[in-house]
Amino acid sequence: MAKKAVTVDNVSILFNLNKEKVDNIKEYFIKLVTRKLHYNEFWALTDISFEIEEGERLGILGFNGAGKSTMLKVIAGVLKPTKGSVKVNGVIAPLLELGAGFDMNYTGAENIYLYGATMGYSRKYIQERYDEIVEFSELGEFIDVPVKNYSSGMRARLGFAIATAVEPEVLILDEVLSVGDAKFRIKSENKIKSMFDKGVTVLFVSHNTAQVRRLCTKAILLDHGKIIANGDVNEVCDIYDERVKSKQ
């Protein structure tokens, strides 16, 4: 019997949206203490449930605001569900906002070890993969330059190189295969494909259904925080493509 890699059970996420403009912290606390701070409730996700077996690759589709990135952040542990629970078995590598965890004053080289440590890997483990990371990132001599001087594309390439050089059991990808130039995007996709043979479980958010069809074995379609389709990747992609056509 296949082992479950990810189990999402009746997950809901509630955000409180401030109704009025608050200009500074002092004004915020005055309104908070005097109970004059009013919110609109917004359910970003409502009663989301699905399971992913080890080695499966799930594509997550939906228009902007459907809850795709919020769902990935819940699974990655960045957000805590308002209701429900998430269980992940194994080491997880979330590629959500590539380079978001970098210290801008450190060099690329220093951030390789920092980023690796935040993912739970030892200095020795990262050292063994250091040359591979630098080569894949294509940063060359810029690896010894502070990250604050990098372009957003350079930071994304370095983040991708670090996250995929380790050996996660669950890989979370949020539109990250669209970073860099065309050459780097092809190389990134090939790198992800090479991890499939090792049985990695993948959750992949993309608006590109051709890419989802190539990389994923199943898919879900989100709409306003709810799952409206779940199953075969081609069937779910067909539903999404039809919705895209209807909005044009």
CATH code: domain of residue 8 = 3.40.50.300
Residues 8 and 40 in one domain: yes
* pTM of the predicted structure, to 2 decimals: 0.76
Structure tokens at 47: 């009663």
Of the residues 130, 150, 167, which one is the last residue of a structural domain? 167
Residues 139 and 52 in one domain: no
Residues 125 and 157 in one domain: yes
Residues 85 and 175 in one domain: yes
118 falls within a domain: yes
Residues 42 and 79 in one domain: yes
Q: How many domains does the chain have?
A: 2
Residues 128 and 204 in one domain: no
Distance, in Å, from the CA atom of 182 to the CA atom of 142, rounded to the nearest integer, reads 21
Contact predicate 205/69, CB 8 Å: yes
Residues 8 and 80 in one domain: yes
97 falls within a domain: no
- Which domain covers residue 137, as residue numbers? 107-167
Task: Give φ, ψ of 76 to 5 degrees.
Answer: -75, -10
End-to-end distance of the chain based on CA atoms, in angstroms? Answer: 44
Share of the chain above pLDDT 90, in %: 48
pLDDT tens per residue across span 199-247: 889 998 888 899 899 889 999 999 999 999 999 999 999 999 999 998 7
Residues 30 and 128 in one domain: no
Of the residues 142, 167, 192, which one is the last residue of a structural domain? 167
98 falls within a domain: no
Most confident of 32-36, 98-102, 226-230: 226-230
Residues 72 and 17 in one domain: yes
Residues 138 and 239 in one domain: no
Nearest to 132 by CA among 155, 160, 154, 152: 160
Residues 73 and 184 in one domain: yes
3-state secondary structure of 59: strand
